[in-house]
Amino acid sequence: MPYRAPISEYRFLFDHVVGFDAVTATDRFSEATPDMVDAILTEAGKMCEEVLAPLQRAGDQHPARLENGVVRTSPGFAEGHKAIAEGGWVAIAADPEHGGMGLPMTVTTAVNEMMSAACLAIQLNPLMTQGQIEALEHHASDEIKATYLPKLISGEWCGTMNLTEPQAGSDVGALRTKAEPNGDGSYSISGQKIYISWGDNDFTENVCHLVLARLPDGVDGTKGISLFMVPKYLPNDDGTPGKANDLRVVSLEHKMGLHGSPTAVMEYDGATGWLVGGEHDGMKCMFTMMNNARLGVGGQGIGVAEAAYQHALDYAMDRKQGRTPVEGGNTIVDHADVRRMLATMKADVFAARAIALSCAVAIDMAHATGDADWSARAALLTPIAKAFGTDTGIAVSDTGVQVHGGMGFIEETGAAQYCRDVRVTAIYEGTNGIQSMDLVARKMMDGGDAAFALLDEIEAFAEAAKSDLPDLAEPVWQAAETLRETVEWLVAQQDMTTRFAGAVPFLRGFARVLGGYFHLRAAVAEPGGARARLARFYILRLLAEHKSLFAQARAGSDDLYALSTDDLAA
């Protein structure tokens, strides 16, 4: 499938929408000059177009498979991973002390999105490694850092995260995997983990598993969980892979999509592991990796949305069908409903991308300045970026099938693969319902201060824009004010079930307002151009959804629980 990396879109967002100039103005990221960033994005885009995109169909048609205990990956995936590793794309944001580039997370987010658009199945491998790198940088001992980080950063080794068990999905605290001290500083890890993305492969020297397990004195629930590094091969003293550890891939899941990405059931039978972080601090350590992955997964959704949009647009520009109202128009792109679908796809991709990059900017500013307000902004935006990014990937890929008409339902066109591949992104790294619950609960423990600070910025910008673009600025200001009132109502609710009942529409409404704000910024930066016309479409059509979404958010839970289980089964 052809894919065109949207380099100019990233440049525009960096320069005019998400405030990337504040990141490069800090001492920590001063070397990320516009020329350097432009060169990085261009080279990454070229690699995605020429090396990764041709693997998209191969991964789907020739899935990873388990043969005699050995995982065999899809044709071309070894070469694809080699290109990612040798290009340094695994560790753009990693610490230079261990071989990383030390560049902003904002740049990593853009590169990850391009890789996801080109071939999501293979991009999931370096995404897991990136999260593991960050977890080790923050929590591992110096010895573990020295052994594992250089190899992970170079791409010679790759990383996974092992949380889920058959009886412990979102309720991680129910896990049964055990860790017994060996008396030499190592531990014996025993248990089974499921849904392990890229649990094994045939192209890296080692696979490094971060495994959640419970020590003998670990209490029940999440407070008794610890985190361990459990490699496929035990490292020798010189850092090379040594003897095989006592772990194995039991099976690979048969999945709806992402066939090129092996999702493993892992068995640990007295495997040797080493503690990462403190005893019983496993969830704290793993959340570092999970928060990194949540932004990355949001980017995966956006990347697939971009690819599905490009695929649908190419088809619509070529497919001839019926009369159109456009003089000289003879393809379906000129039919009103097809034009509506394509405009919705493009407008939502822009909104979701801007939200994700804005979240990345907040992460970079928090790292560069240590400012708690930036940390709060990053925390607030992370669940929105993850949920709205993946919801957008699902919606846009679904609409892409519709644009293709009957041909969209035929596998040979490739339109359906985007739907099948992206669907899981709304489930893993915490379902989008969990992201929404996190937003209305933990992220509102400050009484809404972080949300109000963001709304202050939105309303101030919209107020200033009223002089030039009153028909666009006024709806954005009004939507922000409605969101403010909804946040005020939300933080006043002490009953969490009342908050949770409307959490999903609240998050989506929040994302709609953010999308309107970012589209308005684009229109101000490029008045009268294509971006302003797209902003008009979004603000006058899609932003209007916020009213019904916030009405749902404030509906409470009584009507949900007035329905009995018998009513649901009737």
Calpha distance 462→146 (Å, rounded): 49
How far from 466 is each of 17, 313, 462, 528, CA to CA, in Å?
17, 33, 6, 15
pLDDT at 24: 97
- Reported as half-sphere exposure (CB side, CA atoms, 13 A), residue 176 has a value of 8
CATH number of the domain enclosing 524: 1.20.120
Active site residue 429: yes
- The answer to whether position 330 is within a domain reads no
Instruction: Please identify which of the residues 429, 459, 474, 481 carries the catalytic annotation.
Output: 429
Minimal CA–CA distance to 175: which of 321, 282, 102, 249? 282
- The answer to whether position 157 is within a domain reads no
Residues of the chain with pLDDT under 50: none
- Which residues, listed in sequence order, are joined to residue 192 by a DSSP beta bridge? 267
Calpha distance 442→491 (Å, rounded): 11
Give how far the C-alpha of residue 326 lies from the chain's centroid of Cα atoms, to the nearest Å.
39
pLDDT at 5: 97
- Which residues, listed in sequence order, are joined to residue 159 by a DSSP beta bridge? 208
Calpha distance 233→62 (Å, rounded): 27
pLDDT at 270: 96
Tokens representing 16?
Answer: 């005019």
Calpha distance 493→482 (Å, rounded): 17
- The answer to whether position 537 is within a domain reads yes
- The answer to whether position 204 is within a domain reads no
Q: 322: left (phi > 0), else alpha (psi -120 to 50), else beta?
A: left
Rg (CA), the chain: 24
Pairing of strands 233-235, 241-244: antiparallel
Contact 550, 491 (CB under 8 A): no
- Which residues, listed in sequence order, are joined to residue 178 by a DSSP beta bridge? 190, 214
Q: For the chain, what is the domain count?
A: 1
Residue 538 is classified by DSSP as I
The domain of 459 spans 431-557
- The answer to whether position 445 is within a domain reads yes
Pairing of strands 178-181, 225-231: unpaired
Q: Give residue-wise pLDDT tens across range 115-128.
A: 999 999 999 999 99
How far from 311 is each of 2, 5, 285, 406, 556, CA to CA, in Å?
8, 13, 40, 15, 41
Pairing of strands 206-214, 157-162: parallel
pLDDT at 1: 58
- The answer to whether position 523 is within a domain reads yes
- The answer to whether position 212 is within a domain reads no
- The answer to whether position 270 is within a domain reads no
Task: Please name the amino acid found at residue 161.
Answer: M
Minimal CA–CA distance to 414: which of 551, 314, 343? 314
